[in-house]
Chain A
Amino acid sequence: MVGKTIKKWWPIFVVPTLAAFIIGFLWPFIWGIYLSFCKFTTVQDVTFVGFSNYQKILLDNTFSHAFWLTVAFAFISSILINVLAFAIALALTKGFKGTNAFRTVFFMPNLIGGIVLGYIWQTLLNGLLSKWGQPLLALSAKNGFIGMLILLCWQQIGYMMIIYVAGLNNVSPDLIEAAQIDGATSRQILFKIKLPMIMPSVTICTFLTLTNGFKMFDQNLSLTGGDPAKQSQLLALNIYDTFYARSGPQWKGIGQAKAVVFFILVVAIALIQLKATSSKEVQQ
């Protein structure tokens, strides 16, 4: 009955969101797919070129470098963040004093934006590197990569920890007590009870860390800017660079084609990951 009554009220309930959604997402998305098959510098002179932009991507070795760097970055950062966040969450759910204060501190970096985070860590890491006589972030792709990993861990561990703490608090104490009576060791309790019971949290945290790792842009821009010579460029920055930092009539089309490849990659990874981890969830 509610459905029937409100059905004809769609102009008020649906149209504002839908109109903004079309302007802000749907139309740019469809137009973007079309433009990936075109050569253009402004939207006034667009010529259709078929798949040639996609072929040119293969010749652009900055793209393949950024592609594999991003894949490595997303997986390594996701594993590091989840393991460390889970470890801290385990420690914080043991009922020690000051748990709340620790939680407050660990979560804080999450509220600071990527650009500012990049400059904070640039100052700290360059100071340390020069103290140790190592090449600075802008001069060594390896140091830049490790720097980005440290930065992202620092930013996201707190967020994932909060989710894991909530998951662990939901594991019924009866279950753990029963296992203890049956003589389970604390290691068995961790791997046979706690971990399976919080699989939904693991699913969502891996999803978030993987997609965030793939999509990372601001931190990359401010911490290394892609230096040296685009060697620390992740995909998002590589696409931005192709669009706005290269001159020549062909680059915008190639940038858009790269963006389509990037989009397909992120969607594919997200789907595979959700399928893989949610199949391990247990029914409570």
Chain B
Amino acid sequence: MENNKKKSIIPTIILTILSLLWIYPIILILLNSLKKESAITTTGVFELPLGEIWNGFTNYVASVTQMDFLKSFWYSLVISVMSVVLILLCCSMCAWYIVRVNGVLSKILYYLFIFSMVVPFQMVMFTLAKTADTLKLNTPYNICIIYLGFGAGLAVFMFTGFVKGIPLEIEEAALIDGCNPLQVFFKILIPILKPTIISTAILQLMWVWNDYLLPTLVLDIKKFRTIPMAVQYFRGSFGHVQMGPMMASIMIDIIPIVIVYLVCQKYIIEGVVAGAVKG
């Protein structure tokens, strides 16, 4: 027992140092976001925000007003929530159908979904943007249809993997008792699918929330900017980049993510594992 304790000290120290290094980049940005503009130079990034350099939260105020951050936050939220809800609902229904009606068409559909997961986005980016324009799917309130199409691969894949393991008898009994398929699906399948629904929701949320290229090409960047678009726009298109507000905007992007992560950590990690095991 004594020996065991001693043995574990060295790895614990190494892991502690490693994890401090791991969060250091974020701490560095946090420190710089509290500095005066003139102090955020290439060589000066490692100085602490003390004395003369201290700028309080001025950068945060500037970032929120200049970037129109609240609007961006709203667009990101609307797009993420609508897309994920739509993906979960439609793809779980589709997956149930594919597994239970196990014909040639179901098989073709299934392999098409799998195929779509491997195809790089650059392959469809130009034509997808044109299609979205033509069909007027280019606002934050209906871009979720595009996300349903592009996210269907992973979602259908995960749901079919799970539905295959559900015994048929329960559904048969419910149908004999006079339920129609929709009732069977919502009253029986959805409760059984709950763990997969959470896992899929997390994987899709991580993707849609952080996605940059798809909304940039589909949405009108002058009218609608999601958070990743706003950060890139702020950095890329202003003649002189104001480093202070830039650092603050990075922090504003990270803080909500970290809070959600710390609260839902268990589900997020389970979601990642479930996604990998099904794959």
Report if A and B associate in a common complex: yes
Query: Which residue numbers of A lie inside 8 Å of B, CB to CB?
Result: 1-3, 5-7, 9-10, 12-14, 16-18, 20-29, 31-32, 35, 43, 88, 91-92, 94, 96-98, 101-116, 119-121, 123-124, 126-127, 130-131, 136, 154, 159, 162-163, 166, 201, 204-205, 207-208, 211, 214-215, 217-218, 221-222, 235-236, 239-240, 243, 252, 255-256, 259-260, 262-263, 266-267, 270
User: 9 A–B contact pairs at CB < 8 A?
Assistant: A14-B94, A16-B93, A23-B146, A24-B146, A24-B152, A25-B152, A25-B153, A28-B124, A112-B210
In the complex, the answer to whether B135 meets A23 with C-beta atoms within 8 Å is yes
B228: chain A residues at CB < 8 Å are 113-116, 218
In the complex, the answer to whether B232 meets A6 with C-beta atoms within 8 Å is no
0/1 per residue, B7-29, Cβ < 8 Å to A?
01001101110110011111011
Give Cα distance in the complex from A120 to B25, angstroms: 7
Give Cα distance in the complex from A211 to B258, angstroms: 26
0/1 per residue, B73-102, Cβ < 8 Å to A?
000000000000000001101101110111
Give Cα distance in the complex from A109 to B27, angstroms: 13
In the complex, what residue of chain B is closest to A9 when comparing beta carbons?
B181
In the complex, what residue of chain A is closest to B175 when comparing beta carbons?
A5
Q: Out of B109, B131, B262, name the residue touching A28 (CB < 8 Å).
A: B131
Give Cα distance in the complex from A279 to B235, angstroms: 47
Q: Out of A2, A113, A127, name the residue touching B42 (CB < 8 Å).
A: A127
In the complex, the answer to whether A218 meets B175 with C-beta atoms within 8 Å is no
B111: chain A residues at CB < 8 Å are none
In the complex, the answer to whether A201 meets B257 with C-beta atoms within 8 Å is no
In the complex, the answer to whether A262 meets B213 with C-beta atoms within 8 Å is no
In the complex, the answer to whether B235 meets A20 with C-beta atoms within 8 Å is no
Q: Which of B156-173 contact A (CB under 8 A)?
A: 156, 168, 171-172
Tally of chain B residues near chain A (CB < 8 A): 95
B18: chain A residues at CB < 8 Å are 88
Tell which of B51-59, B61-69, B191-199, B271-279 binds the partner.
B271-279
In the complex, the answer to whether A259 meets B258 with C-beta atoms within 8 Å is no
Q: Out of B102, B125, B137, name the residue touching A243 (CB < 8 Å).
A: B125
0/1 per residue, B187-223, Cβ < 8 Å to A?
0000000000000000000100111110000000000
In the complex, the answer to whether A96 meets B12 with C-beta atoms within 8 Å is yes
A28: chain B residues at CB < 8 Å are 124, 127-128, 130-131
> A2-B171, A26-B116 given. 15 additional CB < 8 A pairs?
A2-B172, A9-B182, A13-B96, A20-B148, A28-B128, A91-B14, A94-B11, A102-B15, A112-B210, A112-B253, A114-B212, A116-B228, A162-B273, A236-B121, A266-B119
Q: Which of B113-161 contact A (CB under 8 A)?
A: 113, 116, 118-128, 130-132, 135, 137, 145-150, 152-153, 156
Query: Which residue numbers of B lie inside 8 Å of A, CB to CB?
Result: 8, 11-12, 14-16, 18-19, 22-26, 28-29, 32, 42-43, 45-46, 90-91, 93-94, 96-98, 100-102, 109, 112-113, 116, 118-128, 130-132, 135, 137, 145-150, 152-153, 156, 168, 171-172, 175, 181-182, 184-185, 206, 209-213, 227-228, 231-232, 235, 246-247, 250, 253-254, 257-258, 261-262, 265, 268-269, 272-273, 276-277, 279
A96-B11, A159-B272 known; A105+B22 contact, CB < 8 A: yes
In the complex, the answer to whether B235 meets A218 with C-beta atoms within 8 Å is no
Q: Out of B29, B97, B118, name the residue touching A266 (CB < 8 Å).
A: B118
Give Cα distance in the complex from A18 to B110, angstroms: 11
Q: Out of A111, A243, A262, name the residue touching B261 (CB < 8 Å).
A: A111
Give Cα distance in the complex from A43 to B134, angstroms: 11
Give Cα distance in the complex from A140 to B147, angstroms: 37
Q: How far is the CB of B46 from chain A (nearest CB, A)?
A: 6
Give Cα distance in the complex from A28 to B277, angstroms: 30
In the complex, the answer to whether A32 meets B130 with C-beta atoms within 8 Å is no
A23: chain B residues at CB < 8 Å are 131-132, 135, 137, 145-146, 149
Q: How far is the CB of A88 from chain B (nearest CB, A)?
A: 8
A97: chain B residues at CB < 8 Å are 8, 12
Q: How far is the CB of B269 from chain A (nearest CB, A)?
A: 6
B101: chain A residues at CB < 8 Å are 3, 6-7, 10
In the complex, the answer to whether A240 meets B116 with C-beta atoms within 8 Å is no
